[in-house]
Amino acid sequence: MAIQRPASPFWRFLYENSLIIVILLLTLGTLAGQFVTGWHDYNDELQDMGLTQLTAGQYFHSGHFLEATFENWESEFLQMALYVLLTVWLRQRGSSESKKLYEEEEVDAEPDQSKKDAPWPVRQGGLMLVLYKNSLSLAFFALFVMSFFLHARGGAEVYSIEQVHDGKAAVSTWEYMSTSRFWFESLQNWQSEFLSILSIVGLSIFLRQHGSPESKPVDAAHGETGK
């Protein structure tokens, strides 16, 4: 049964974009909470080292906030980049997150350049089309590289403060990237993201969530693959 479209443009906008709006609000809310708690926690650390505490404005530009934020973002972007690419070629029997095992799907079809309402890169063709065909994974990988570097930059600042306090030399961003601490921070987050992919792919074989596009229909057989 079709859902009635809201008459008001405002409510129609909220309804048609409610998923991204709610997730954006959750992201901003938790980021704000991270900022406040991280600010107080880091000031406690600085106080213990006998260093000057930071104002909120100073903390916003600090290595501690930079590292804590982008350490997590890098793993999220890596997860999505790999997931987008891996689901192009790999299959999982029974999972709603997998394409059909032996059937071609709409997403496998070559773009129709003559389609009037196709995005501009499709109608343009050539290199623009090649880039657009892979733009989702390229964007995620670019965001991953950016976050990876900012994680390292912020971490190097925090690590250097600790080193100088202990009478040792400060390190550059590139030097910090060669430390086991940097890779421990990265790998512990990467494995948790891969675990979340493993969970949704595996659990969606046997479990259901009525009404969710991430689940197969409740009455679908366990061996049925795809949405």
Regions of the chain where pLDDT drops below 50: none
Q: Which one-letter DSSP state was computed for residue 7?
A: S
Determine the pLDDT at residue 66.
97
Measure CA of the first residue to CA of the last residue in the chain; give whole Å.
Answer: 19
* Sole residue written with tokens 């997730």: 23
Cβ-contact 125, 137 below 8 angstroms: no
Determine the pLDDT at residue 1.
66
| pTM exceeds 0.85, yes or no | yes
How does DSSP assign 184-222, residue by residue? HHHHHHHHHHHHHHHHHHHHHHH---TT-TTS--TTS-T
Distances (CA, A) of 183 to 64, 95, 139: 16, 32, 23
pLDDT tens-digit readout, 183-221: 999 999 999 999 999 999 999 999 999 999 898 889 999
Q: Which one-letter DSSP state was computed for residue 111?
A: P
